[in-house]
Amino acid sequence: MTLHTQLFINNEYVDARSGETISVYNPEDESLVADNVQVAGEEDVNAAVSAARAAFKGEWSKWTPYQRTKVMLDFADIVEKNIEELASLESKSMGQPISVAKMVIPYLIAAFRYYAGWTDKLPGEQFPPTGDDGLYKITQYEPIGVCAGIGAWNGSLIFFGSKIAPAVATGCTFIYKGSEKSPLALLQLGALVKEAGFPPGVINIVSGDGKTGSLLASHMNINKVSFTGSVFAGKKVMELAAKSNLKRVTLELGGKSPSLIFDDADIENALVHHSQNFLFNTGQACIAASRTFVQESIAEKFIEQLKARFEQFKHAAGPPANPQTFLGPLVDGKQFERVMNYLEIGKNEAELIVGGGRHGDKGFYIEPTIFLNPKDDARIYREEIFGPVLTIRTFKTEEEAVELANDTDYGLSACVFTSSTSRALRIAKQLESGMVNINTSQAFAAELPFGGFKQSGLGREGGRTGLLAYVEAKTILINMKV
């Protein structure tokens, strides 16, 4: 696979008119992975939008649902054949262990295959005249138009699938910008888009930093923007969208997810989900259950065993390219310094149980860390750290557990570990969270809505709900008396 560092616009790789470039470094050892990665400026964004608008009004609008289904399935098949190369690039640019990268890419494939089945399954409604009004009423759904997606670095290819697949299924066209921290695998997808047979302009891929994202969010000829990232940046995207053309917005933002472990839970299962699953992708996941609440009667035993697991996983750190590596480095020096700062803050806010520092003397590796009984206003307890850092508090009653879980500005995901189905469902109803995992964690699928309550976001991606975010409902009324 040829390494592409140019922008992908109108089915061609082109140099950025901005003249700006960025370099990508491997967080394992800070070695150069690629330089001359093109940065899209205003002219480049305008060119991508023009190509997307021309495709939306032109050839793409004439394609039948069955044609859209075929090209989406073909694209999924081609991506599947290139998993090794794509995973390698993702691993090198953001430090994701190669084994993890290979597990992540199938979510992109699943999104395109799932939404390929929706191209002809979003019917409208019709209502015959009632009484004397003589009006025949029709509701139909139409593609919203030119859409933009801005994705985060921790799951670049997942976000590509969750944003673009529903959009093209409905007949929209797209400009996608990933993070400047992990642009390489995304840029390679352009060649696969063309190989699959998408018409020019339907899917465009640009790279750049927040300035490029701002150009997309504020563009007057983009109808919708979907953003995944921090709460701070999400609010900025929403502001720019509102101040420009009031474009539709979907926001998938941060999380500080709670997990409630009751004394009747399967302890081995809970230990797996709070060690192995929590540390997946080195804790760099918006749905990671970083606030763990354990019932007092089992707390001492659970914490002792979880500490031992964290100590074991420290030895699973290694080179991302090694298939045996489970724990990779953080994405870059900036994120490393951010997490290290939280570790120092946490030592004054809670009891350090395990970890709390850098792992090794090379690369951006952090020790798996547990803090016990953080203060109620502790930053490590309140703020999203985005690393292998877990806080634990105890509770006595179910009511107390729910109150602790909901005491946050976030509401993306939550977990409940118990052998009582009635308790699980009772608590699930009370949790202020877009997703509730019962006796599991970090579970999601293309057919399910994904998104959060409160400051964790706006709208949903995934499932039929995610599809509706890319259409406008149009009402038509016919006077049957004429």
Ranges of each domain in the chain: 7-253+455-476, 258-445
Architecture category of domain 7-253+455-476 in CATH: 3-Layer(aba) Sandwich (3.40)
At 2 the pLDDT is 85
- Alpha-carbon gap, residue 278 to 415, rounded angstroms: 12
Instruction: Kindly list the averaged pLDDT for each block of 10 residues, start to end, along the chain of length 482.
Output: 94 97 96 96 99 98 98 99 97 96 96 98 94 92 99 96 99 98 97 99 98 99 98 98 98 96 98 97 95 98 98 94 96 97 98 97 97 97 97 99 98 98 98 98 95 97 97 97 90
At 395 the pLDDT is 99
Residues with Cβ within 8 Å of 161's Cβ and at least 6 positions away in sequence, in order, are: 107, 108, 109, 110, 111, 112, 446
Q: Are 7 and 216 in contact (CB under 8 A)?
A: no
Q: How far is CA 39 from CA 13, 180, 208, in A?
A: 13, 9, 4
Q: Which of 252, 349, 384, 461 is catalytic?
A: 252
At 440 the pLDDT is 98
Closest CA to 202 of 210, 211, 194, 192: 194
At 131 the pLDDT is 81
349 carries an active-site annotation = no
The identity of residue 50, as a single letter, is S
At 132 the pLDDT is 84
At 133 the pLDDT is 87
CATH code, residues 258-445: 3.40.309.10
For the entire predicted model, the pTM comes to 0.96
Place of tokens 């797996």: 272
Q: Are 346 and 371 in contact (CB under 8 A)?
A: yes
